[in-house]
Structure formats: structure tokens, C-alpha cells
Amino acid sequence: MKINDDDRVLSTGLPYSASGALVSASTRPFVPRLPSTWPVIGPDPDPFFVDILEHLFLDGMLAELTNVCNDILTNNPTGLQGRGHVVGVSMMSILDSVSQFASDGQRQCIRIPEYIERYFPPEYNAIRQDVSDLYRNGLIHEWFMRKVAFLPGNEPLMVQKNGSPVLGLLTFRDALRGSIQRFLEDLRADGAKRKIAAARYRLLQQDIRD
């Protein structure tokens, strides 16, 4: 069963939200970013729950990221050059968020490498800890990346002489998208993993205010 546009309900009196939860009453399409508007799920989530996550991850997170990248590539002659940190921060935030749906409460330094090993292309396995420790932590906590780097396009994964990786921004974006698709397929087939994802989903909904 797929989520149809007519079935999506957004409890906000405003037409759109750039980010954050709006909780005034109305009936509008289900907007992925607002936990206060997500459908309520039962104690034993069925595959329909995965349809909800697919909408949140692919139509919400990744669609917005792709829109930003496309706008940059269309309107700036240097493309992502000089804008890569902003895109990189967004991708690391998405990776962090999605990995929490795959994790039974593990710390970020454990859950992100485990998620990468399980769902990313095999070549990322060797750098899974670097993605967590150097890319994610560096970008989100400090803005700066130590040892590692991004390139502004579809460059393949490279490893420098000192052993530190270099990632193409768009290549990593595509790997991230593929990982989410594989994760969703895993959830459709595995009820125990759906329960772990559902626990994270419910936690994000706990602060809903009527």
C-alpha cells in the first residue's frame, strides 16, 4: 500500500514550512519534514510503515538535497566549487539521521560505520570510520575537515598517499541515495528491523503538541 496524495494530512494552517514543525489545525498534503504531521503507526509496524519512511527519506531529505545541487549547477559556472561544505554538511546530516533508524541506540561512531558497511557500495567499507570521524564530525561540529576532502563533482572515491579518502560530492550523494534504497528494501523484508526503525520514528514524534 502506497501513500497517496489524498491520504496525506498536514496539521498546519500555513501552506509551507521551510523547516521545523507547524502544528496549527488544517488539512494539507503530508510534508516529510514535520514529525508532528507524520502518520501514527501501530505497535507492530507493517510494510506500509516503510512507505512512510520512503516518503520521508527520498521525497523529503534527498529530494531537497538534489534540488539544492541542481540549483547550484544550473546557476553557477563553477558548479559546486565554493559551495561544497554546505552540501557536505547536508549529506552528513542525512546519513546521521537515516542511520539512527537502522540503529538500536548505538552511538554515532558505531552506527554510521555499521550503516555504511551494510548499505553503501563495497568500496566505502574501508573508509567507513573516516566518514564518521572525519567527514561527519568535522563538518557538523567544526565546519573543517581534517585530512579528508570533497571534490565538487562525480569524481570516484580516491585514497591519498597518507591513507585519507577524497570523495566526489555527487558520487557520495548517489551512494547515499542507493544506501537508503537498500535500507528500505531490508526493512520491507525484516520485521525486527522495522521495529527498530519504528522506535526512532516514535521518538521523533514525542514532542507533538496539540
Residue 58, all three cell numbers: 527520498
Residue 57, all three cell numbers: 527519506
CB 197 within 8 A of CB 104: no
73, HSE (Cβ side, Cα atoms, 13 Å): 12
In tens, the pLDDT along 5-44 reads: 333 333 333 344 455 544 444 444 456 667 877 888 988 8
The answer to which of 22-26, 47-51, 72-76, 145-149 has the lowest mean pLDDT is: 22-26
In tens, the pLDDT along 58-67 reads: 988 999 999 9
pLDDT in the model for residue 210: 47
pLDDT in the model for residue 143: 87
Report d(CA 63, CA 101) in Å as an integer. 19
pLDDT in the model for residue 129: 96
For residue 95, the Cα-to-chain-centroid distance in whole angstroms is 5
Per-residue pLDDT averaged across 86-94, rounded? 94
For residue 105, the Cα-to-chain-centroid distance in whole angstroms is 17
Provide the percentage of residues in the chain whose pLDDT is more than 90: 57
Angle at alpha carbon of residue 84, lines to 81 and 88, rounded to 5°: 165
Give the pLDDT band (50/70/90) at residue 157.
Answer: very high
Pairing mode, strands 165-168 and 149-151:
parallel
In tens, the pLDDT along 92-144 reads: 999 999 999 999 988 999 999 999 999 999 999 999 999 999 999 888 998 88
Give the pLDDT band (50/70/90) at residue 207.
Answer: low
pLDDT in the model for residue 7: 38
pLDDT in the model for residue 32: 61
176 vs 10 pLDDT, higher one: 176
Contacts by 7-15, CB closer than 8 A, 24 or more apart? 9/37, 9/39, 10/34, 10/37, 11/36, 11/37, 12/37
